[in-house]
Structure 1
Amino acid sequence: MRAGPLSIDQQIAAMKAAWPRFAARRVDRRTQSARWVGSVKPQYSSYSLEIRYELGSFPEVRVLSPELIRLPGNSEGQLPHVYPPADDPTLCLFDPREREWSSAMTIASTTVPWALDWLACYELWLMTGRWTGGGRHAGQELGEARETTQ
């Protein structure tokens, strides 16, 4: 039996319990949407993240600061594993076609830890030029495992 979608109030409560430094902003109970902003430090650097979510859509995560560094000419792409547009990328944290996330899951137990993992992979990529986060490029068939690049 599949669990039903969590309400925005349930998502807010889960975020407050697990990630109290992420402040809920722009909560709209009519559209069941919210925006959280908070800081994390996965390994070496601190990052300010924004998470936007509306029931019926996938969570979107952006790095507000510091600005993500691009490596032009890198074989993995100048900034791997993100969705466009280039001037406002969102992190690619899961594969929607593989149904790796659903609205029955909490953002607190999936999206935030996945964002921390993405940032750890990003920091390693900056040092080595190699993306270790796995995944698949946008437009690739499901069996082809590579990361999305931009």
Structure 2
Amino acid sequence: MGVGKFGHKGTLLAKQRFIFLLNYLDRAGIKDYNKGEVQKKIGITRKLSIINWVEFDLQPTSLSRVYKILLVYIEGYSPYAYVLTPSLNKLKKDNTPIPHLYDYERYRLCLHYPHLNEYSQYEEIGQQYVPWIIHWLYYFEEWLYTGEWKGGGVEPGDEIDRELNPKYKKENTSSSKKKEIGTFVTAIDEADKIYDRRLKKLLKEFVHEAA
């Protein structure tokens, strides 16, 4: 039962959870952030959803580089976390794929395995996601140095994934049933659009400052 699926009450809860996220950033000393809100119709039912986003800097250790993070929260869905800058691919020494990414072009981070219920709709987003992002960045930097991912996690298609992921139980779904679903705008589509807009704005500001 997710937040945002029960009309006005869900909307209030969604706004409240995002305010709690901003409060968490303030308590953590992360005060220089950008934020925004849009409304879009998402999913098969084309439900009007509130989309909140916040952009802030994180440094996993005192010796680390600074990463600009984009966190997108859409009511009824677990948050989406991206690294806006620097370009993670440019930090690599070779063409080895970066572990635990959902999107290798936008650097959308894989922070928890969804089928283990590690993310809770009833806890503060900041208390869950900001430490997860810091841990991911820490192990990413270690991976850059050693070539070994020591942060654990579940890889697509491994034994745990095949046991818990519902998609493997639906492999026999007929094509006719798939056609009934049709095409619709997903939450990930909208989160990706926000990433694209924010990255474009950052690059434009960088060019302007360098001129």
TM-score range, shorter chain: 0.7 to 0.9
Provide the C-alpha distance between the structure 1 equivalents of 2:93 and 2:120, rounded to a whole number of angstroms. Answer: 33
Partner SS state of residue 60, structure 2: coil
Q: RMSD between aligned alpha carbons? A: 2.4
Whether the aligned pair in 2 keeps the contact of 1:81 and 1:137 (CA below 8 Å) is: yes
Whether the aligned pair in 2 keeps the contact of 1:124 and 1:131 (CA below 8 Å) is: yes
Whether the aligned pair in 2 keeps the contact of 1:71 and 1:79 (CA below 8 Å) is: no
Provide the C-alpha distance between the structure 1 equivalents of 2:86 and 2:123, rounded to a whole number of angstroms. Answer: 28
The structure carrying a bigger helix percent of its residues is 2
Where do 1:11-90 residues align within 5 Å? 11-20=17-26, 21=31, 22-28=33-39, 31-43=49-61, 44-69=64-89, 70-72=92-94, 74=96, 78-84=97-103, 86-90=104-108
Deviations 1:94-124 (A, max 9, x none): 0101111122222110011100110011011
Larger radius of gyration: 2
Choose the corresponding residue for 1:120, options 138, 141, 164. Answer: 138
Deviation, 1:51, is 0.6
Deviations 1:7-56 (A, max 9, x none): 22222221221103343212549513211100111121100000111122
Cα pair distance change 1:60/1:140, threshold 3 Å: same
Aligned to 1:147: none
Partner SS state of residue 160, structure 2: coil
- 2:28 is the counterpart of 1:10: no
Query: Residue 16 of structure 1 aligns to which amino acid in structure 2?
Result: L
Gaps of 5+ in 1: 145-150
Q: What's the TM-score once normalised by structure 1's chain length?
A: 0.80
Cα pair distance change 1:10/1:71, threshold 3 Å: farther
- 2:125 is the counterpart of 1:138: no
Q: % of aligned pairs identical?
A: 28
Q: What's the TM-score once normalised by structure 2's chain length?
A: 0.59
